[in-house]
Amino acid sequence: MGIRTVMATGDNRITAAVLAEEAGVDDFIAECVPEDKITLIRKEQAEGKLVAMTGDGTNDAPALAQANVGLVMNSGTMAAKEAGNMIDLDSNPTKLLDVILVGKQLLITRGALTTFSIANDVAKYFAIIPAMFASVPTLQGLNKLNIMGLRTPHGAILSALIFNALIIPALIPFAVRGVKYRAESADRMLSRNIFNWGILGVVIPFVGIWGIDRALSLFGLA
Average pLDDT, the chain: 85
For residue 209, pLDDT beyond 80? yes
Least confident interval from 28-32, 38-42, 202-206: 202-206
Question: In this structure, are residues 81 and 65 in contact, taking their beta carbons and an 8 Å threshold?
Answer: no
Least confident interval from 13-27, 78-92, 139-153, 171-185: 139-153
Side by side, the strands of the sheet bearing 69-73 are 52-55, 69-73, 86-88
Give just the sign of the alpha carbon dihedral 70, 75, 79, 82. positive
Quick one: pLDDT band at residue 13, thresholds 50, 70, 90? very high
Across residues 132-147, what is the average pLDDT? Answer: 66
For residue 183, pLDDT beyond 80? no
Torsions phi, psi for 159 (to 5 deg)? -65, -40
Annotate the chain with three-state secondary structure: CCCCCEEECCCCHHHHHHHHHHHCCCEEECCCCHHHHHHHHHHHHHCCCCCEEEECCHHHHHHHHHCCEEEEECCCCHHHHHHCCEEECCCCCCHHHHHHHHHHHHHHHHHHHHHHHHHHHHHHHHHHHHHHCCCCHHHHHHHHHCCCCCCCHHHHHHHHHHHHHHHHHHHHHHHHHCCCCCCCCHHHHHHHHHHHHHHHHHHHHHHHHHHHHHHHHHCCCC
Across residues 99-118, what is the average pLDDT? Answer: 85
Question: In this structure, are residues 12 and 111 in contact, taking their beta carbons and an 8 Å threshold?
Answer: no
Across residues 112-124, what is the average pLDDT? Answer: 84
Which tens digit of pLDDT belongs to each residue from 81-101? 999 999 999 988 888 888 888
For residue 8, pLDDT beyond 90? yes
Residue 139: per-residue pLDDT: 62
Quick one: pLDDT band at residue 150, thresholds 50, 70, 90? confident
Q: Which residues pair with 86 in a beta bridge?
A: 71
The HSE-up count of residue 119 (CA atoms within 13 Å, CB side) is 20
In angstroms, the CA 138 to CA 136 distance is 6
For residue 143, pLDDT beyond 70? no
Quick one: pLDDT band at residue 145, thresholds 50, 70, 90? low
Residue 1: per-residue pLDDT: 74
In angstroms, the CA 64 to CA 1 distance is 22
Quick one: pLDDT band at residue 119, thresholds 50, 70, 90? confident
Compare 14 and 119 and report the one with higher pLDDT. Answer: 14
Quick one: pLDDT band at residue 107, thresholds 50, 70, 90? confident
Compare 187 and 58 and report the one with higher pLDDT. Answer: 58
For residue 35, pLDDT beyond 90? yes
Question: In this structure, are residues 72 and 54 in contact, taking their beta carbons and an 8 Å threshold?
Answer: yes
Q: Helix 95-132 and helix 153-177: axis angle, to 10°?
A: 180
